[in-house]
Amino acid sequence: MEGFAKGCETEVEKDCGAWINLLSHKVKARLDAHFQNLGITGVQSRVIYYILAHCKEGPVFQRDVESAFGLSRSTATGILQLLEKNGIILRESVPNDARLKSLVPTQRAFELAAQVRACLEETDRMLTRGLSEGQIIMFREMAAQMLRNLDDWDACCCPEESSSGHTQASGPPAPSGDPHPAGHDKVCGNPASTTEGEHGKSHTVVNERRLPGGRKEECHK
């Protein structure tokens, strides 16, 4: 029994999933505690920042949020409904397709932007403290490859899960750049003409990952 326990301990120490799970829980707890007084959660803060950063490029839809964060439709719906209820986003119909609802940040979202950005950036600095730029780049590439491995596994070996409404993640949008449109009070609304994004901007590509602000990063295998 003692030998079995020692073996399990060794295996856990080698388990990449266990380390990722531990990091995820610690980051979530920190963000939740920080944003508690603002009435939002850590996950909501990242969704707010994503919408602010990408609404300048064109309409942002629920499917974009699902893709960016790897959320199921029901989970994304719950998050967005709470943000709408709290006056942080609005859902607006697209002029040429009433079935589509774009996610539009309100003034309240812009008021939260600076605090959200500061906390996310500080958390990232804490996570990468003591790491070289090369190590950080390598970590991102390895994390992107692990994500692709899981997506490939789900698609090939778990078709039921792949078709159950769970969306493959395109990569976590980290804070980068200024999410505020010029002048701060400019409204991120719907363009007059249809763009490719209206039918769901897909951020999942073979060798690239979308980063915040629309930048893309190659992920080398």
One-character DSSP codes across 145-205: HHHHHHHHHHHHH-HHHHTTTBPPP-------S--SPTTS-------SS--GGGGT---B-
The encoded tokens of residue 109 equal 């979202």
Query: Contact, 106 vs 188, CB < 8 A?
Result: no
Give the per-residue pLDDT at 201. 42
Beta bridge partners of 60: none
Architecture of domain 20-191+198-218: Orthogonal Bundle (1.10)
Q: Where are the domains of the chain?
A: 20-191+198-218
**Per residue of the chain (221 residues), what is the pLDDT tens digit?**
565 555 555 566 778 999 999 999 999 999 999 999 999 999 999 999 999 999 999 999 999 999 999 999 999 999 999 999 999 999 998 888 878 899 999 999 999 999 999 999 999 999 999 999 999 999 999 999 999 999 888 888 766 555 555 555 556 554 555 554 444 443 454 433 333 343 344 343 334 444 444 444 444 44
The residues near 183 (Cβ < 8 Å, ≥ 6 apart) are none
- Locate the DSSP E strands across the chain: 89-94, 97-105, 208-210, 216-218
Give the per-residue pLDDT at 144. 93
pTM of the model: 0.67
Closest C-alpha to 174, from 209, 133, 149: 209
- Locate the DSSP E strands across 56-128: 89-94, 97-105
Half-sphere exposure of 11 (CA within 13 A, CB side): 6
Give the per-residue pLDDT at 98. 76
Give the per-residue pLDDT at 84. 97
Give the per-residue pLDDT at 85. 96
